[in-house]
Amino acid sequence: MAFIQPTLFALALLLASAHAATIVVKNNCGQTIWPATLTSGSGQPQLAMTGFELASTESQTLNVPTPWTGRIWARTRCFTDASSRFSCETGDCASGSRACNGAGGIPPATLAEFTLAPNGGLDFYDISLVDGFNLPMSITTNGGTGQCVSPKCSADVNGVCPLHLQVRTADGIVIGCKSSCLASNLPKDCCTAEFNDPKVCQPSDSAKIFESQCPQAYSYAYDDENSTFTCSAEPNYEVTFCP
């Protein structure tokens, strides 16, 4: 029995850590996109897929070991240049390839953010426009218990983005909307320095636009009300671009 007990204990630990959440990434846009993932939790490895291509109407299933803290976003208007370097006009992670390999996206980019708990604990998730906007997005829960809200940012924010926040192609098409923080780098817009306080920092110009267009998404750093959602008991998720 002295040898059986450690074996059973090790098996129990393995089973306890074996759960993986499923996140299905869908492309409902009329263009090809290149979704990417970034793991930011301490000591957690990057997912097996850190960047991939999705044609219109295609989907890709990600198996995410828990616990996991990370984000998912989409890169747009990607291409490979004459030197075989891969890059994108929005959301690029500057890795030079389709895989981001632990690099984050260059804003502006719409983010799906997750903190997934092990063993049926409480998950946290949100749609964030704090780094700006490039594509509409929704997060849908599948299973789980609790409130398990499915937030959506389905508005075309690029269509109402003011000129000084616009990201444009060479031929003038608006493909992204910067946050005021990204555009100005001022503490009052970024909630930094003396403005790093929820009682002091007020919504910036971009935050007011983002909030009006996508009230279920984070619009600035302290936009906590009705922007963070929870679900427990091991739900799965769908992240849809252009829902």
State the pLDDT at residue 19. 67
| CATH code, 223 | 2.60.110.10
State the pLDDT at residue 157. 98
Low-confidence residues of the chain, pLDDT below 50?
Answer: 1-17
Question: Side chain identity at 240, as an amino acid letter?
Answer: T
Residue 177 lies inside a defined structural domain of this protein: no
**Nearest CA among 222, 71, 70 for reference residue 137:** 71
Q: Across the chain, where does the E strand assignment appear?
A: 20-27, 33-39, 59-65, 68-80, 86-90, 111-116, 123-128, 137-142, 152-153, 166-168, 174-177, 229-231, 236-241
Structural domain count, the chain: 1
Residue 25 lies inside a defined structural domain of this protein: yes
Extract long-range pairs of 167-173: CB within 8 Å, 24+ residues apart.
167/89, 167/90, 167/108, 167/134, 169/77, 169/89
CA dihedral (199, 214, 187, 111) positive or negative: positive
Which tokens in the block code for residue 39? 């793991």
Residue 6 lies inside a defined structural domain of this protein: no
**Residue 194: count of CB within 10 angstroms of its CB:** 9
User: Between β-strands 33-39 and 166-168, what pairing exists: parallel, antiparallel or unpaired?
Assistant: unpaired
Range of the domain at 63: 18-155+214-241
State the pLDDT at residue 15. 41
Which tokens in the block code for residue 149? 């809200």
Global pTM value: 0.91
